[in-house]
Homo-oligomer: A and B are copies of this chain.
Amino acid sequence: MNDEDRLARMEARIAELEDRLAIYQLFATYGPGVDSLSGDAVRDLWAEDGTYETEHHVFRGADEVSAIVRDPMHLRYIERGCAHVMSMPRILLDGDTASATGYSRVYVHREGEWVVDRASANRWELARIDGAWKVTRRVNKLLKGTPEARAVMGQDL
């Protein structure tokens, strides 16, 4: 390997590491965003036309997704005290797109304890847009024993 090839190989490896850490950071931003009612921070995570699909609703576009922070159900969580916690995701990188699989849990305060009101399987599709990783699709299925939720967890294995 000549020097140019060697340097280019190193730069590619560094870039992949940076991509993985940027995607971790995206996941670590979602919870603080929704739990502090920071709609702008949530909007900034999604691609302009990205979606968020739950069992009951499909949020279409970054504006609709970010409006979750004003949703009555979300505001009831906020009033009681809540934590939207993401697990460390499994990431598959493919150039300028990626997918990530992981768990989300919503802890809600009740009588001095916190109960898990939602525990879900999540698969995220991501794309590098203008140099930043953005969510193009998030699929969220409650872990209630359905084959649909199991399929989400197993899709990329």
Contacts and interface: CB of A to CB of B under 8 A. Distances in A.
A58 interface: no
Nearest to A143: B81
A63 interface: no
Interface residues of A, number: 64
Interface in A1-43: 6-7, 10-11, 13-14, 17-18, 20-21, 24-25, 27-29, 31-33, 35-38, 40-41
Contacts of A61: none
A155 to B, nearest CB: 8
Interface of A: 6-7, 10-11, 13-14, 17-18, 20-21, 24-25, 27-29, 31-33, 35-38, 40-41, 78-83, 85-91, 101-103, 105, 107, 109, 112-119, 121, 142-146, 149-151, 153-154, 156-157
22 contacts: A7-B10, A10-B10, A14-B14, A25-B90, A28-B88, A28-B91, A28-B102, A31-B103, A32-B90, A35-B121, A36-B151, A41-B154, A81-B145, A81-B146, A81-B149, A83-B103, A85-B103, A85-B105, A86-B88, A88-B88, A105-B107, A113-B117
Given A116-B107, A145-B109, A87 B90 contact: no
A144 B10 contact: no
B6 A89 contact: no
Contacts of A31: 87, 103, 153
A69 to B, nearest CB: 11
